[in-house]
Amino acid sequence: MSLYLILLFPSLTIALLLALRSSRAVKWVSFVGSLAQLALLIAFYFHFKSLDSGTAIKPFKYQEQITWFPSVDIHFHIGIDGIALSLMLLTAVVMMGAVLVSWNIKTLVKEYFILLILLSIGAYGTFMSLNLIVLFFFLEVAVIPKFLLISIWGSGNKKYSANKLAIMLIGASAFIFTGMVSLYFMLPEGERSFDIIQLSQTIIDTNIQSLVYVLIFIGFGTFSAVFPFHNWVPDGHSSAPTAGSMLLAGISMKLGGFGLLRVATYLFPLAALQYAEIVIALGAVSILYGAVVTMMQKDLKYLNAYSSISHCGFIILGMGMLTQTALNGAVIQLISHGIMTALFFAIIGMIYERTHTRTIGEMSGLLTTIPFISTMLIIVGLCSLGLPGMSGFVSEMLVLMGCFEKQSLFHRAAAILSAMSIVITAVYILRAVTKVTMGDTHGSQIAYRNASWNEKLAALLLVAAIFIIGLYPQWLVDLVSNDTKLIIDKILLSK
């Protein structure tokens, strides 16, 4: 199997869309293209599992390479491990949901769906890149659609939100690019490379690691909404169209978490150890800060946006702990949060289309008038607060268990403080969900239309993913554990 197929399928979908004139045809081609992409990645998953487990010699499968600029060691080098494949499966699921909830788009329909698919190409390319410059290229490809989706199809103060997002992420990209180029020129001339596999086998001086790690962490940390680089997230989510919010939280923020794992932690193990306590502290602060601020939100989109900062803090916490259990939990939290928050934003969009408000205090009794949508809201709320049997419980439990594998007071205290956010999350989720779905109905709400077939299919797809991970997480743990072990072994060898 060739990884080029994963880039070819969405590229062909865009080519077909460019040739179409009918809005209805554009939507159906986008849907079929996203369905085919999901089927392709499921096939890759089963083929990947049939191969031998990755080893320290060759952890990446399906490697392909095309020479671009050999004089500076820039090659189109791609390959995937279990972590990359799991995130690509996430991208396909969220992408299909985003296409389905966009069925009612009426303005610039062709351009809208092309941008959605272009964002997915940027994500797929980032996850499979084994050359730092190629990774950076695809990362930037994913930024452009986000800016346009918000500025054209967004709502509220969309110009401000789009510009803020673009400035913050371009600034983050500047840190990433500076770190990559600095690494190249700071290495001895015979060891200079942008190739991730070659760099992972190179002994990099501690001082170089320390400097470059900070630059890379700030860059990818901004994409991941790590405190204090998070403030583009609430405005971006609140102004984005529904599918834009789904992709922004479900996919784009995961590019940052992936970069922290693939580049910062994997290539600079000594620096990862050196800054581990700072990373842990930032993760714990993000968790608690996000949870406390979420309690004060009255708008459903802002509630989910600030909640995302808190949930993504568990990813950072798991990476900082540097135990395999915690890293497994961090990767599964990347997947779980992507699915959960995409569903949350999809449901918020469905509610807004009917009630024309996102203010929690202006809604009540929706379970009676739009039962399917309200039920989905209750389910995703329970996933967000970490109910056993759902993906949110598995990922956060693994991170916290990984924290307690460390014996020091600092690590245990960080785990306990982070666990306190679960109680806060339960408070704001239950308060918001019960207020919106329970209580008396307003007379005008009786006329609200039921969920359409595309809305039901999008919600059920994402709910199924939540329960598949929550009820049987072992398949995902098995998929990523060889690669998280590789990272931990590399860190232990570098001590």
pLDDT in tens, 246-291: 888 888 888 999 999 999 999 999 999 999 999 999 999 999 988 8
Contact assessment for residue 382 and residue 374, using Cβ atoms and an 8 Å cutoff: no
Confidence band of 75 (pLDDT split at 50, 70, 90): confident
Most confident of 159-168, 213-222, 294-303, 352-361: 213-222
- At 200-250, the pLDDT tens digits run 888 888 899 999 999 999 999 998 888 888 778 777 777 888 888 888 888
Q: What angle do CA 307, 313, 319 make, to 5 degrees?
A: 155
Mean local confidence (pLDDT), 100-116: 90
Taking the C-alpha atoms of residue 434 and residue 466, their distance in angstroms, rounded to an integer, is: 21
pLDDT at residue 444, as a whole number: 47
Q: Above 60 in pLDDT, residue 409?
A: yes
- At 154-209, the pLDDT tens digits run 777 888 888 888 888 899 999 999 999 999 899 888 888 888 998 988 888 889 99
Question: Of 225, 217, 224, whose CA–CA distance to 265 is shortest?
Answer: 217
* 366 contacts: CB under 8 Å, gap ≥ 6: 351, 355, 373, 374, 377, 436, 437, 441, 445, 448
Give me 102's structure tokens: 């966009």
Containing 61, the helix (H) or strand (E) segment is strand 61-69
- At 414-446, the pLDDT tens digits run 888 888 888 888 888 889 889 888 876 654 445
Mean local confidence (pLDDT), 43-67: 77
Distances (CA, A) of 434 to 303, 370, 372, 388, 459: 14, 14, 15, 20, 20
Confidence band of 302 (pLDDT split at 50, 70, 90): confident
Mean local confidence (pLDDT), 359-386: 88
* In the chain, domain spans: 1-52+59-268, 275-495
Residue 129 DSSP SS3: strand
* The length of the chain, given as a count of residues: 495
Rounded to the nearest 5°, which phi and psi values hold at 62?
60, 35
pLDDT at residue 464, as a whole number: 95
pLDDT at residue 178, as a whole number: 94
Distances (CA, A) of 47 to 42, 89, 263, 378: 9, 14, 26, 36
Confidence band of 54 (pLDDT split at 50, 70, 90): very low
* 460 contacts: CB under 8 Å, gap ≥ 6: none
Question: Of 401, 254, 403, whose CA–CA distance to 331 is shortest?
Answer: 254
Least confident of 11-20, 95-104, 171-180, 189-198: 189-198
Give me 351's structure tokens: 């509610």
Confidence band of 339 (pLDDT split at 50, 70, 90): very high
Name 75's bridge partners. 67
Listed in sequence order, the DSSP H helices in 102-205 are 109-128, 132-153, 158-186, 196-200
Tokens 């452009």 correspond to: 144
Taking the C-alpha atoms of residue 260 and residue 319, their distance in angstroms, rounded to an integer, is: 8
Instruction: Record the pTM.
Output: 0.91
Mean local confidence (pLDDT), 446-453: 77
